[in-house]
Each structure stands twice: as structure tokens, then as C-alpha cells.
Amino acid sequence: MSQFAVEACQLVKKFPARPGTGDKPLEGEPASSQRKRRRLFGKKEPKAMFTAVNGVDLQIQYGEIFGLLGPNGAGKSTTIRMLCTLLEPTSGTAHINGYDIVKQANDVRRSLGTVLAGERSIYWKLTGRENLEYFAALYHIPPAIAKKRVDELIERMELKDRANELVEKYSTGMRQRVAIAKALLARPPILLLDEPTLGLDPQAARNLRELIAQLKQEGHTILLTTHYMEEADQLSDRIGIIDAGKIIALDTPEGLKRRIDRKEIIRLEVSGWQDYIGEKLRAMREVESLVARRQNESDLWEVNLQATDSRVVLPKLMESISQNGTRLVNMNIVKPSLEDVFIHLTGKALRD
């Protein structure tokens, strides 16, 4: 048996870029390779490829919770889809529970419980119980064991009262619990959870996070993707930060935060923000990065600024902000969070 629960080596996935969707080849791709393609196919328009995952390496230990953190479109879901055998990588290899994801796909499927993003992974016209019984058969669980297991999971997921109602009558949180129960049916050693708390209300999300922590206690290895930094911070033993198809940092949450320990994070709320102010501040040597984003269509902007020395930055900051109707509403100097790590690494916010 392999030493790692999940091991990926230089995983790459390219899709043909669909015209009009705004997909474009990653910057980074050398212009020479594009030129070469053009020559190879003569006059034909070169087929533009969109690189969704660009050389991902992962080594996840048994029993570990590993968080894959990144903004939408960073390649999290594509990575998960390759690992759970729905997609074949363009190049690179990966092993799940020691099985090759391309050559031993069925063994991989037996070792995995996967919850994909979105709530439409179960049948709405079946009851919760019927869904689980159905998938138990598909996961090749013998009937006697399946029956016990389904009961057990229904109990555990607190679906007992409504297990015999159609899923279409469930709330989003309940549907998500059925989907998770489905993933747990075969008691797979490894769980892949793609944005598991997406669309859940805060209470349901909290319960789910507790459940994930329990599952770890029971010995499951968990790979979860998220774009909520608190979630990744709270749950994960280790975190990989993924951006533009590449893992740009991989460490424990503490380790990641330690990287910008000496930085000072200034968080501002400003009304009437102008882009040129940002340009001016970024030009300062002491300013490492600056991200401004508008708060829900209002006139208020949230500005995140990382600086090496706030004593130099602050006076200049106050000066530039109090001009032309721009006003400072609130200001904090805060402890670095994972989001700040992300901003530090990429120069952009996790959520726009």
C-alpha cells in the first residue's frame, strides 16, 4: 500500500477554450509554444487551450484533513474531478489509496466518497432512504450490510423523521446531508468534499464542519476544497493555496500565517474610493500589496493593505484619503488571516 492516501504528481488538465466564454490561455504559457502550434497545423486557426490545472503536486497523509483553498476558477473543482475519476488528466499521474486514477479507476471509486459541489447529485423524485439504498447497491455493498448502513447514516445525519419523504421536499441543508451520507455509504477511507458548505445557512455550515472533524476522528482522510478561508483555517491540518491552476503555497494554517507575521495588515473602510488613490499608495516602498473592493453595490469600499512599516504609511494614507470627497469611515490594524496570506501571495482578494 502506498504511503499516502492521496498523491498527485504534476497533474495538468487542459480544456479546449470555448469561444465567447472568456477562457484564455494562461499568461505564463510561453508564446513560442503557441507559435509552434500554428506552424504545425498550417493555416488552420490554432485550437486555443485553457489550462485549468497546471502541474499540481499533492501528498496527503492518511488521517489528515487537507484543505484546498482558492478563488472561484482557480482549478479546485477540476483537481477534485480528476482525483475522483470523472476527468482524465492531460498529463501527470495521481494515486488514491495507492490506486492509479486512470488505470485502476474502479478501485479508486471504491476507495472514495465524493461530494461534488451543488445539491443536484441525488434524485429529487426518490426519498432520502431510497436514494441511499440505490447508491448502496451501486457501491457494491451487500444487501444485509447496506440496510444496516443506511439506517445508521440516516440516524447520524438526523434525517430519521423525514427519511421517507421525497428529497424535493427537503431543505438545502438536508439535501446536502443526504449527499454526504451517500458519500459515506461504502465507508470509504478517503473523502473528497468539493465546497461542502456552499449555499448552506450558517448553522447548517457549522454542523457540517463539526461532522467533518468527527469523520477525521474516525480515521477518514479528507480532502476538501473551499473558498472560505475561515473554514480552511478551522478544519485543515494542512492547506494548499491554489491560484490559476497552480499550488502556490502549502503548509499548516499556522505556518502560512507565520509567513506574513512581520507584516502589518491595515483594514480600512472608505467611502468614495478612487482607483488613483490605490495607485499612489501602491507606489510606496513600504506598501506590499493593496486590494480594494466595493461592499455590495454601496459607496463603501473595503481596503486591505499590507505594509512593512505602518508608521510611514499611515500619514500618507490619511492624506490621500481625505481628498475629493473620499472619507475614511473605519480603520483597523489586524492580525493576519489566511485571506491576508492569499493577498500577499497573489496580490488579489479571495472573493471579489
Partner 1 sequence: METTFIPRSLGQPGLLSDVRAFLAVVRREWIIFTRYPSWIIALFIWPLIFPMMYILTARALSGPDGSGLAVFIATTGATDYIGYIIVGTTVWMWQNIVLWDVGFALRNEQMRGTLESNWLTPTWRFSYLLGQTGPQIVTMAMFIGVTALEFGLLFGIRLNGSPWMLGLMMLAAIPAIYGLGFAFASLVITVKEANAFVFLIRGMVMIFCGITFPVAILPAWMQTFAKWLPQTYLIHGMRAAAFAKAGVKELLPDLIPLLSFGAFWLAVGYFTFLWMERRARKSGAIGQY
Amino acid at 276: Y
Helices (H), 199-274: 202-217, 229-235, 253-258
- Quick one: which segment of 43-51, 178-186, 279-287, 298-306 binds partner 1 (CB under 8 A)? 178-186
Name the segment binding partner 1 (CB under 8 A); options: 83-91, 196-204, 296-304, 330-338.
83-91
CA dihedral (186, 192, 198, 203) positive or negative: positive
How far is the C-alpha of 290 from the C-alpha of 283, rounded, in Å?
Answer: 10
- Nearer Cβ to partner 1 (185/313): 185
| Cβ partners under 8 Å of residue 37, min gap 6 | 46, 47
Task: Please name the residues in contact with 34: beta carbons below 8 A apart, sequence gap of 6 or more.
Answer: 25, 46
Question: What residues between 13 and 42 interact with partner 1 by CB under 8 A?
Answer: 15-16
Instruction: Tell me if 78 contacts partner 1 by CB under 8 A.
Output: yes
Task: List the one residue from 219, 255, 315, 347 that touches partner 1 (CB under 8 A).
Answer: 219
Q: Does 50 bind partner 1 (CB under 8 A)?
A: no
289 scored as a contact of partner 1 (CB under 8 A)? no
- Three-state SS at 72: coil
Min separation Cβ 70 and partner 1, Å: 18
Count residues contacting partner 1 (CB under 8 A)? 55
| SS (HEC) of 289-307 | EEEEEECCCCCEEEEEEEE
Residue window 110-149: x/- pattern of binding to partner 1, with contact defined by CB under 8 A: xxx-x-x-x-xxxxxxx---x--xxx-xxxxxxx-xx--x
When the beta carbons of 112 and 317 are compared against partner 1, the nearer one is: 112
Contact 111, 189 (CB under 8 A): yes
Rounded least distance, CB 93 to partner 1, Å? 15
Over the Cα atoms of the chain, what is R_g? 23
- Determine the interface stretch with partner 1 among 219-227, 242-250, 304-312, 330-338 (rule: CB under 8 A): 219-227
Find the binding residues for partner 1 in span 262-281 (CB under 8 A).
none
Which one, 5 or 338, has the nearer CB to partner 1? 5
Q: Which of 226, 230, 183 is nearest to 79 (CA)?
A: 226
Distances, alpha carbon 318 to alpha carbons 208, 285, 314, in Å = 43, 17, 6
C-beta of 30 vs 142, nearer to partner 1: 142
SS3 state of residue 138: helix
Tell the smallest beta-carbon distance from residue 125 to partner 1 (Å). Answer: 5
Give me the residues that bind partner 1 (CB under 8 A), please.
3, 15-16, 61-63, 78, 81, 84-88, 106-107, 109-112, 114, 116, 118, 120-126, 130, 133-135, 137-143, 145-146, 149, 166, 179, 182, 185-189, 218-221
